[in-house]
Structure 1
Amino acid sequence: MRIAKILPLIIASALSANLAYANTDQDTDALPLCETAECTSDFKKLRNFAINGSSEAASLLAIAYANGEGVSQDDAYARKFMLRAIKWKDPFAIHQASRWYRTGHIFDKNVARADELLNRVVDRGFPPALVDKAKQLFAENNNNSDKIAFDLLIKAKESTYLPAYELLAVFYEHGIGTEASLYKSAKMHKTLAIRGHEGAQEKLDKLVAIIEQQNINIDGLKVSQDIERLDPVLLDVHSEIKDLITKLKTTDYDGRSAVSRIQGQSCSDVGNGCYIQFDRNSPGMIPYVVTGTSF
Structure 2
Amino acid sequence: MKVFLSTSLLVIGLLALPVKAIAQNTDSQADRVCMDTDCSKELRRLIRLARGGSGDAAAFVAMAYATGDGLEQNTEQAIRYLRMGVRQRNPMAVNLMSDWLRNGFMVEQDLTEAARLLEQAVKLNYAPAQYNKALQLLQSEDPEQLPEAVNLLEQATSQKLSSAMLLLAQLKQHGVGVEQDLPGAAELYKRLVLSGQHNAKPYLHEVTSQLAADSEHSALVAELREVENIEIIRVSGQQFQTSNMLEGLVKRLSATGQFDTRSVGSRIRGVSCEQSGSNCASIRPERGASSLNEVLSGGQ
Cross-structure match for 2:238 = 234
Cross-structure match for 1:46 = 46
Following superposition, the deviation at residue 55 of structure 1 comes to: 1.1
Cross-structure match for 2:202 = 202
The 5-angstrom pairing of residues 106-117 of structure 1 reads 106-117=106-117
Shift in CA distance, 199/13, structure 1 to aligned 2, threshold 3 Å? closer
Does residue 269 of structure 2 align to residue 265 of structure 1?
no
Secondary structure in 1 matching 2:39? helix
After superposition, what is the alpha-carbon deviation per residue over 1:58-106, rounded to whole angstroms, capped at 9, x for unaligned?
1100000000011111110000000000000100100111000000001
Q: 1:246 aligns with which of 243, 251, 268?
A: 251
**Preserved CA contact (<8 Å) 1:50 1:56:** yes
More helix per residue: 2
Instruction: Report the more deviating stretch, 58-67 or 195-204.
Output: 195-204
Opposite residue 123 of structure 1, the aligned amino acid is: K
Secondary structure in 2 matching 1:77? helix
Following superposition, the deviation at residue 170 of structure 1 comes to: 1.2
User: Which blocks of at least 5 consecutive residues in structure 2 are unaligned?
Assistant: 260-264, 274-282, 287-300
Cross-structure match for 1:256 = 266
Opposite residue 61 of structure 2, the aligned amino acid is: L
Opposite residue 268 of structure 2, the aligned amino acid is: A
Following superposition, the deviation at residue 33 of structure 1 comes to: 6.5
Opposite residue 251 of structure 1, the aligned amino acid is: T
Following superposition, the deviation at residue 229 of structure 1 comes to: 4.6
Secondary structure in 2 matching 1:4? helix
Distance 2:233 2:154 in 1: 23
TM-score normalised over the length of structure 1: 0.76
**Preserved CA contact (<8 Å) 1:194 1:230:** no
Shift in CA distance, 200/33, structure 1 to aligned 2, threshold 3 Å? closer
Shift in CA distance, 227/206, structure 1 to aligned 2, threshold 3 Å? closer
Shift in CA distance, 106/177, structure 1 to aligned 2, threshold 3 Å? same
Following superposition, the deviation at residue 169 of structure 1 comes to: 1.2
Cross-structure match for 1:162 = 162
User: Which blocks of at least 5 consecutive residues in structure 1 are unaligned?
Assistant: 15-21, 268-295
Shift in CA distance, 72/239, structure 1 to aligned 2, threshold 3 Å? same
After superposition, what is the alpha-carbon deviation per residue over 1:34-55, rounded to whole angstroms, capped at 9, x for unaligned?
777x532222222111111111
Distance 1:12 1:47 in 2: 34
Distance 2:142 2:58 in 1: 39
Distance 2:91 2:115 in 1: 14
Does residue 14 of structure 2 align to residue 9 of structure 1?
yes
Secondary structure in 1 matching 2:217? coil
Shift in CA distance, 56/156, structure 1 to aligned 2, threshold 3 Å? same
Distance 2:233 2:150 in 1: 27
Aligned identity (percent) is 24
After superposition, what is the alpha-carbon deviation per residue over 1:9-45, rounded to whole angstroms, capped at 9, x for unaligned?
259978xxxxxxx99x934988686777x53222222
**Preserved CA contact (<8 Å) 1:10 1:166:** no
Cross-structure match for 1:122 = 122
Secondary structure in 2 matching 1:107? coil
**Preserved CA contact (<8 Å) 1:131 1:164:** yes
Q: Greater RCO between the two (CA within 8 Å, min separation 6)?
A: 1
The 5-angstrom pairing of residues 13-92 of structure 1 reads 26-27=26-27, 39-92=39-92
Opposite residue 234 of structure 1, the aligned amino acid is: Q
Q: Supply the RMSD in Å over aligned alpha carbons.
A: 3.1
Distance 1:54 1:13 in 2: 30
Distance 1:209 1:34 in 2: 44
Instruction: Report the more deviating stretch, 221-230 or 133-142.
Output: 221-230
**Preserved CA contact (<8 Å) 1:92 1:260:** yes
**Preserved CA contact (<8 Å) 2:34 2:243:** no
TM-score normalised over the length of structure 2: 0.75
Shift in CA distance, 230/149, structure 1 to aligned 2, threshold 3 Å? farther
Cross-structure match for 2:291 = none
Shift in CA distance, 228/34, structure 1 to aligned 2, threshold 3 Å? closer
Opposite residue 118 of structure 1, the aligned amino acid is: L
Following superposition, the deviation at residue 203 of structure 1 comes to: 2.2
**Preserved CA contact (<8 Å) 2:56 2:271:** no
Following superposition, the deviation at residue 3 of structure 1 comes to: 4.3
